[in-house]
Amino acid sequence: MAGLDRLGDNELVKALVISPDEEVRQYLRIALQSAERQTEGTWEYLEASDGLSGLRIAWRELPDVVVADEIASRAGAFAVAKDLRGAAEPFPGAIVIVLARREDAWLAKWSGADAWIERPIDPFALADAVVEAVNRRHPQEVG
């Protein structure tokens, strides 16, 4: 993770998208392009089709943000967030969860997610949540 005072500033920003549905992963990548346009950085997109693969990628690549679909299979989004935040050395990136139901917001908070949005996914709301979450995780670093 490069120093990010404000997301971007000509830095490489890695985003990991986790969902069992290829169409949802594609939609999330397109929505994240709104975040990319808000920054001056270059974005790299990583993908996982289930939570276990997502965890392996997250620890190997240390992306700046993980966007996990609540319905992710083989370890859902809440389990992914809980595992990343509960590690002996917690995951340093931001975690954003896409909720299927508003009532699950408490689970997102409990799991350690930095932000969450509800379905249907508003691409601009997702972009804003991602930029804000990453900036909150790295407030004192200089880009």
E strand intervals along the chain: 12-18, 42-48, 65-69, 94-99, 115-118
Q: What is the DSSP string of 74-101?
A: SS-HHHHHHHHHHSSS---SEEEEEESS
As a whole number, mean pLDDT of residues 112-118 equals 96
Q: What is the mean pLDDT of the chain?
A: 87
Residues 3-56 pLDDT 10s = 334 554 568 899 999 999 999 999 999 999 989 888 878 899 999 999 999 999
CA 96 – CA 126 distance, rounded (Å): 9
Q: What pLDDT score does 2 carry?
A: 39
As a whole number, mean pLDDT of residues 101-107 equals 92
As a whole number, mean pLDDT of residues 95-116 equals 94
Question: Does residue 1 carry a pLDDT above 60?
Answer: no
**Three-state DSSP class for 7?**
coil
As a whole number, mean pLDDT of residues 111-125 equals 94
Which pLDDT band, with edges at 50, 70 and 90, does 140 fall under?
Answer: very low
